[in-house]
């Protein structure tokens, strides 16, 4: 599947020109997305490295779920990290999934959007690969532009990810595409055995 060059850090594993593509649509404040994210890290990525190196790429697809008030804000933070520290996009995503309850509806309701963004930046700089030296750059990317309704510096990337989801009829998180088609059989409960079987059946090169 195609994606704009600025979003290349969202490729979690595999070369950009890998013959097979797994697009995985995740929302940072979705418990089932958090569940499959852990499996991606502990089972899927090691499996691809071992048996399908160069044959499969995995792309993180931001799936904003607007009925959660903080969903836009957490995805903006992920895209800001991808811009400032591309190699730490996935470590930040995993950390955010681990602490997603801090950004659920009720905890978020007592904070302003600016306070939520600051909390997300503090979470990001707690990752050693990002660090406090990048705090200013992250805050700058997440600050409102001079236009009263202009969004932030990563709004264009956010728009792209949302339009991509809408264009492809993605509604729920997580949703997985294999080579551009929805793979409804994939479950957030899958472990290494299920992913092994899936890839063995699907990889044709």
pTM: 0.95
CATH number at residue 106: 3.40.30.10
Range of the domain at 139: 5-202
pLDDT tens digits along 15-39:
999 999 999 999 999 999 999 999 9
pLDDT tens digits along 147-169:
899 999 999 999 999 999 999 99
What domain count does the chain have? 1
HEC secondary structure over the chain: CCCCHHHHHHEEECCCCCCEEEEEEECCCCHHHHHHHHHHHHHHHHHHHHHCCCCEEEEEEECCCCCCCCHHHHHHHHHHHHHHCHHHHHHHHHHHHHCHHHHCHHHHHCCCHHHHHHHHHHHHHCCCCCCHHHHHHHHHHCCCCCCCCCCCCCHHHHHHHHHHHHHCCCCCCCEEEECCEECCCCCCCCCHHHHHHHHHHHCCC
């Amino acid at each position: 599947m195609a994606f704009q060059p600025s979003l290349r850090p969202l490729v979690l594993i595999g070369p950009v020109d890998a013959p097979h593509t797994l697009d995985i649509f995740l929302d940072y404040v979705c418990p089932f997305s958090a569940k499959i994210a852990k499996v991606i890290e502990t089972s899927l990525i090691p499996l691809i490295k071992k048996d399908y190196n160069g044959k499969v790429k995995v792309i993180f697809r931001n799936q904003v779920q607007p009925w959660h008030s903080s969903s836009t804000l957490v995805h903006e933070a992920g895209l800001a990290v991808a811009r400032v520290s591309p190699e730490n996009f996935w470590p930040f995503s995993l950390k955010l999934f681990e602490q997603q309850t801090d950004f659920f509806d009720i905890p978020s309701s007592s904070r302003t959007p600016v306070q939520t963004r600051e909390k997300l930046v503090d979470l990001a700089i707690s990752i050693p690969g990002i660090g406090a030296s990048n705090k200013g750059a992250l805050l700058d990317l997440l600050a409102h532009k001079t236009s009263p309704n202009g969004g932030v510096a990563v709004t264009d990337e956010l728009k792209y990810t949302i339009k991509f989801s809408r264009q492809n009829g993605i509604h729920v998180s997580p949703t997985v595409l294999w080579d551009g088609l929805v793979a409804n059989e994939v479950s957030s409960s899958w472990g290494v055995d299920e992913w092994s079987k899936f890839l063995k059946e699907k990889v044709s090169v």
